[in-house]
Amino acid sequence: MKINFKYNRIKIVLTEQDRSSKWLAEKIEKDKSTVSRWCTNDMQPSIETLFQIAEILNVSVKELINENAKEEKPAGNSVDKK
């Protein structure tokens, strides 16, 4: 089972600004599939790239980071073990 932590909020901020991952990829000159993987939290950008993204989106780096990154639990697996 793959554990998926939501470390960044890039997709959320892009949506709030009515921008796409393709648009961001063009702005930072990265492959659109790489940016897409950042948006789905399959991969994370480097710190340097995160600062570049923040500058392009005119937000603080803090707004791009999810302070409460938690594992997404698969549906139907809600049994607590003690």
Tokens found for residue 28: 């930072």
Q: Find, among 68, 71, 70, 66, the residue nearest to 13 by Cα.
A: 66
| Averaged pLDDT, 14-42 | 97
CATH of the domain at 56: 1.10.260.40
Give a yes or no: residue 38 inside a domain. Answer: yes
Q: Find, among 65, 72, 77, 78, the residue nearest to 3 by Cα.
A: 72
Give me the domain span that covers residue 57: 10-64
Give a yes or no: residue 57 inside a domain. Answer: yes
Give a yes or no: residue 49 inside a domain. Answer: yes
Tokens found for residue 37: 């993987």
Q: Is the pLDDT of residue 79 over 60?
A: no
Name the residue with tokens 């139907």.
76
Give a yes or no: residue 56 inside a domain. Answer: yes
Cβ of 78: how many Cβ atoms within 10 Å?
7
Q: Do the beta carbons of residue 5 and residue 70 sit within 8 Å?
A: yes
34-75 confidence digits (pLDDT tens): 999 999 999 999 999 999 999 999 999 999 999 886 655 444
Give a yes or no: residue 16 inside a domain. Answer: yes
Give a yes or no: residue 27 inside a domain. Answer: yes
| Domain tally, the chain | 1
